[in-house]
Amino acid sequence: MPDAAMPSIAREHHGRPADLIPVLQETQAAYGYLPRDAIRSVARALRLSESQVFGVATFYAQFRFTPPGKHHVRVCLGTACHVKGGGHMLEVLERRLGIHPGETSADGSYDLERVACIGCCALAPVVTFDEKTFGQMSVVKLEGILDERGQA
């Protein structure tokens, strides 16, 4: 294992398969994603097969299987953002970062996620960089933000 977080998570939930989702959530919180080895450890601790663990993990949108980027970019594509041009924002990010949603840029600096409603529809369309929310975005504003962050 990459570090010591896994044994303590496993010990706490040992032999309780109903805890699978919280265990996966804690594991992802510890590593930023679900490494292959961690899935194996989770399966062993909860007395499940690896395929069962993998089956549940891939079902839910929250779990990722590749390391996240240094910065986390989310594009809201809830209904309000969609009708106000959220799709254009996603295109800009895909073009500029060179990645699709769910991927991490080659240099590891950004990962991109599309979400269905952050819940600030009044500010649509919305893009978030890490914890910061940028509302009433436009293609030009977003390009400007990326320029400022030095993203070619």
Q: Site residues (CB under 8 A) for other proteins?
A: 17-22, 24-25, 55-56, 59-63, 77-80, 82-85, 88, 91-92, 95, 115-124, 126, 133, 135, 138-140, 143
Residue 10, CA atoms < 13 Å, CB-side half-sphere: 17
Distance CA 35, CA 55 (A): 15
CB of 36 to other proteins, least distance (A): 19
- In the complex with other proteins, the residue whose CB is nearer, 71 or 141, is 141
CB of 138 to other proteins, least distance (A): 5
Distances (CA, A) of 132 to 72, 107, 115: 10, 22, 15
CB of 1 to other proteins, least distance (A): 22
CB of 56 to other proteins, least distance (A): 6
Among 93, 91, 90, 132, which residue's Cα sits nearest to residue 109? 93
- In the complex with other proteins, the residue whose CB is nearer, 71 or 88, is 88
Question: What's phi and psi for 71, nearest 5 deg?
Answer: -115, 145
Among 146, 127, 144, which residue's Cα sits nearest to residue 136? 127
